[in-house]
Amino acid sequence: MNAGKRAAMKTFLMTSALVLTVLPACAQTGPGGVGSATSNVLWLSADVGVNTTGTAVDSWNDRSGNNNHAAFQAGFPARRPTLVAASQNGYPSIDFDGVDDELLINDAASLDLNAWDFFLVNAVDAAKNNNAWFTKSTNTTCNYGWWSTATNAMQMPIYDIFGLFGAPATVANVTGAAFTVEEYSNTLYLGIFPSRSVYRNGASIYTDISILQLPQHNNQPLRIGNAAGVTGWNLDGDIAELIMYNNRLNSAQRIIVGNYLSAKYGLWLGAEEVYRMDDAASGNFDHEVAGIGRINASNQHTDARGSSIVRIHSPSNLGNNEFMMWGHDNGILGTWGSVDLPAGIQGRWHRVWRVSERNTSAVPIDVGSVTMDFDLNGFSPIAGPDIRLLVDTDNDGVFADETPIGPPTSIGGGIYRFSGVTQLVDQRRFTLGTINLTSTPLPVELITFEARTEAPAGIALSWSTATERGSARFDIQRSSDAVSWHVLGSVPGAGNSQERQDYTWMDHEPLQGANYYRLRQVDTDGATTDLPVRSAWWSGVRSPVAFPNPTDGRFALTVDADVPAMVEVLDPLGRIVRTVQGQGAPHVVVDLGDLPDGTYMVRCAQGERLGVARVVLDR
């Protein structure tokens, strides 16, 4: 064995000693409340952290905490995929055109894997061989990868530490035109025998075990929507969410993650559907679903928070094959104007959560008492003794006839704990209330904040608040690195308001490249609150507009009349099929009359600026 292979084997043996560990019992903030940055190495969801120019995706931020952000390759803006709003159950997806779209994630130690559990919510636009969903390196030397065929089978290659490429296992009927939840895991038995499993919408459809086919790491980027070093592998399909863990989850954890995804995207997991509050009859509590559960003593998960502010843990009576899951209705985290209040409660959040306690046979169960922690760091002011937990114990959809629970115990760090809660059982709703709207109003005013490139004018900021209390102004801050900030300007606040307020502000001189924006809310008493960060990419280029589009042959492309324009038209295979030059006119006329119907990519270069448009030829 040569030195490189000995080093690879040493790295593998050191890492494989960790694969039998269980995720620690702490507040887990990964998808569905499973995992943290240590185990959840990548989390891309199209509803969070997608930065666009128009609908073209500039970057897709990693939610795992590992900063494995995806972005288009510098210098190739035409390869950006497209953000599609409300693609599945009201949630967006990223659409890859099958021609040249891809996103790249820089190589990182956290992405060099020996074992894994991948979850993918996807849909095929056009079935073809080698639809590459993601690949770490080339199609023949990848640490791991996942691509589908013209028959919607899925292939899973592994390039091992001995420099051998195993023929990709082929699993039939995995992908399709409809969105599905797919899972692909790999673990190691006795540290040397890899075993892979594939699930489709919760159902196990494939498993294998290999002898000494141990994955080899590489220093290549992780490509989303393509494979390196090969042509024709660009993805023609949509990705709504991609989750990667660095080990196979236990059977309870993988069911929880699956239910988080199925609730969010309106999909069905069959026998593994343990969360039942996500349909219209139950009120569509689809959002930020998390849960705890147990299959047996070796496969359990007893502490979860997820991306929400609610953590539930320490169940007193969680039995085999039992789960407790919860999600919310996406209501406003604000109390002003709230009604349906129990005696002594002056306000409650408009957002409501609903609990599902079922076993794997869909029979309602009771996991006993639980501990509930609420992270109220984003809320000011807060007086702990004012807070109350409200539970709809008679399940009539009304809180006014209930007895408030509390107050909670402050455990530090802005966390407030309700211990020994027994009122949460199957189908019950809960929320937070306050007995004093003056000292503890429980407001979070911001409900939207967007940064959008609108070349050539600049980058437009827009935000909306649900309620405001003593709001003097919003300071607009900008940064080139999301570390050092300076104030660009201010917008007056609404003072005291219980109605939605909409604000806009334009940055007419953005920085070249990435621009990060933050709002600082300043109250009349001088108190300040920093609100979430948004980003946008600026190249100073207005995307060209084709008209008419669709076209039956000829169309005009808007350009800058003062700069010579070079227009290239690419067919669906990425081949240049037309080249047109323009100068001294605000548009360039292009004729595709001799070409077959289809969708064409149009690239327009003017000096150092490059714009992209898509044109549909339809006769």
**In the prediction, which pLDDT does 14 show?**
29
- For Cα atoms 529, 530, 532, give the angle at the middle one, nearest 5 degrees: 135
Give yes or no for residue 164 having a pLDDT over 70.
Answer: no
Amino acid at 458: G
Name the β-bridge partners of 477.
Answer: 487, 518
Sign of CA dihedral 359, 360, 361, 362: positive
Q: Is 537 exposed, middle or buried (0-12, 13-18, 19+ CB in 10 A)?
A: buried
> Which residue from 205, 124, 139, 130 is spatially nearest to 172, judged by alpha carbons?
205
Percentage of residues in the chain having pLDDT higher than 90: 56
Question: 2.60.120.200, 3.30.43.10, 3.40.50.10860, 2.30.30.100: which CATH number matches 3-22+41-178+217-251?
Answer: 2.60.120.200
Q: Give Rg (Cα) of the chain.
A: 26
User: What would the mean pLDDT of 458-467 be, rounded to a whole number?
Assistant: 86
pTM of the full structure: 0.76
Task: Compute the distance between CA of residue 512 and CA of residue 222 in angstroms, rounded to an integer.
Answer: 26
Amino acid at 59: S
C-alpha 377 chain-centroid distance: 22
Q: Domain extents for the chain?
A: 3-22+41-178+217-251, 276-434, 446-538, 546-617
pLDDT tier, 289 (very low <50, low <70, confident <90, very high otherwise): very high
Q: Which two tokens stand for residue 227?
A: 């494979």
Q: Do domains 3-22+41-178+217-251 and 446-538 have the same CATH topology?
A: no
* 3-state helix/strand/coil string of 217-255: CCCCCEEECCCECCCCCCCEEEEEEEEEECCCCCHHHHH
Task: Compute the distance between CA of residue 64 and CA of residue 421 in angstroms, rounded to an integer.
Answer: 30
Amino acid at 354: R
pLDDT digits (tens, 9 = 90+) for 67-115: 899 999 877 889 999 999 999 999 999 999 999 999 999 999 999 998 9
Q: Are 256 and 303 in contact (CB under 8 A)?
A: no
> Which residue from 270, 269, 271 is spatially nearest to 257, judged by alpha carbons?
269
Name the β-bridge partners of 555.
Answer: 590
Task: Compute the distance between CA of residue 143 and CA of residue 446 in angstroms, rounded to an integer.
Answer: 42
pLDDT tier, 573 (very low <50, low <70, confident <90, very high otherwise): confident
> Which residue from 404, 398, 400, 371 is spatially nearest to 385, judged by alpha carbons?
404
Least confident of 46-60, 215-229, 256-270, 448-462: 448-462
Other C-beta atoms closer than 10 Å to the C-beta of 509 total 10
What CATH architecture applies to the domain 446-538? Sandwich (2.60)
Peptide bond preceding 381: is omega within 30 degrees of 0, i.e. cis? yes
Task: Compute the distance between CA of residue 407 and CA of residue 403 in angstroms, rounded to an integer.
Answer: 12
Give yes or no for residue 193 having a pLDDT over 80.
Answer: no
Amino acid at 185: S
DSSP-derived secondary structure letter, 378: T
Q: For domain 546-617, give the fold.
A: Immunoglobulin-like (2.60.40)
Task: Compute the distance between CA of residue 451 and CA of residue 517 in angstroms, rounded to an integer.
Answer: 8
Give yes or no for residue 6 having a pLDDT over 50.
Answer: no
Task: Compute the distance between CA of residue 33 and CA of residue 313 in angstroms, rounded to an integer.
Answer: 11
Q: Are 123 and 101 in contact (CB under 8 A)?
A: no
**In the prediction, which pLDDT does 148 show?**
94
Other C-beta atoms closer than 10 Å to the C-beta of 203 total 11
* 3-state helix/strand/coil string of 186-213: EEEECCCEEEEEEEECCEEEEEEECCCC
pLDDT digits (tens, 9 = 90+) for 329-370: 988 888 877 899 999 999 999 999 999 999 999 999 999 999
Give yes or no for residue 477 having a pLDDT over 50.
Answer: yes
pLDDT digits (tens, 9 = 90+) for 515-530: 889 998 888 878 777 7
Task: Compute the distance between CA of residue 509 and CA of residue 247 in angstroms, rounded to an integer.
Answer: 46
pLDDT tier, 10 (very low <50, low <70, confident <90, very high otherwise): very low
